[in-house]
């Protein structure tokens, strides 16, 4: 999955950001939810379900596909899109620990009163 050359020099955070960015649009959220229900979905069905032009929907599908969240196969004159549930699960596995880390109390020793917390841990 995701073997196009542009990914060669992508670090983990860039890939995560790419996928989050793919999620970060109401139309794409709607598309993903629709795919979650029907498993296989033709482009036209998605277009009819949204109030967007066909070309716009096609571009959203392309973004989702480039992020690896969906797969698209051509079937005759139409295209069949499917969720890539494996990639979604991988994203979840990456995202949940991160959100846990962010929501949890900070590690001991770097309390609020520390006048000199190391900021070098950033990069």
Which residues contact a copy of itself by CB under 8 A?
Answer: 11, 13-14, 16-18, 20-21, 23-26, 29-41, 45-46, 48-51, 83, 85, 88-89, 91-92, 95-96, 98-107, 110-112, 114, 117, 119-123
What, of DNA, a copy of itself, none, does residue 97 touch, CB below 5 to 8 Å by kind? none
Of 4, 84, 77, which Cα lies nearest the Cα of 42? 77
In this complex, which beta carbon is closest to a copy of itself, that of residue 9 or of residue 114?
Answer: 114
d(Cα 20, Cα 95) in Å, to the nearest integer? 9
Q: Tell me if 40 contacts DNA by CB under 7 A.
A: no
What, of DNA, a copy of itself, none, does residue 95 touch, CB below 5 to 8 Å by kind? a copy of itself
- Token output for 82: 């499917």
Spatial contact of 70 and 84, defined as CB atoms under 8 Å apart = yes
The secondary structure element, H or E, covering residue 75 is strand 70-75
Instruction: Kindly state the smallest distance separating residue 6's Cβ from a copy of itself, in Å.
Output: 15
d(Cα 48, Cα 43) in Å, to the nearest integer? 9
């Amino acid at each position: 999955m995701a073997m196009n050359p542009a990914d060669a020099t992508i670090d983990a955070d860039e890939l995560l950001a790419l996928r989050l960015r793919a999620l970060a649009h109401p139309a794409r959220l709607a598309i993903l939810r629709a795919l979650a229900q029907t498993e296989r979905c033709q482009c036209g069905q998605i277009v009819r379900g949204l109030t967007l032009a066909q070309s716009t929907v096609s571009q959203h599908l392309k973004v989702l596909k480039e992020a690896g969240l969906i797969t698209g196969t051509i079937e005759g004159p139409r295209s069949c899109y499917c969720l890539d549930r494996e990639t979604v699960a991988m994203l979840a596995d990456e995202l949940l620990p991160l959100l846990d880390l962010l929501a949890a109390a900070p590690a001991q020793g770097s309390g609020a009163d520390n006048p000199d917390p190391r900021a070098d841990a950033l990069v």
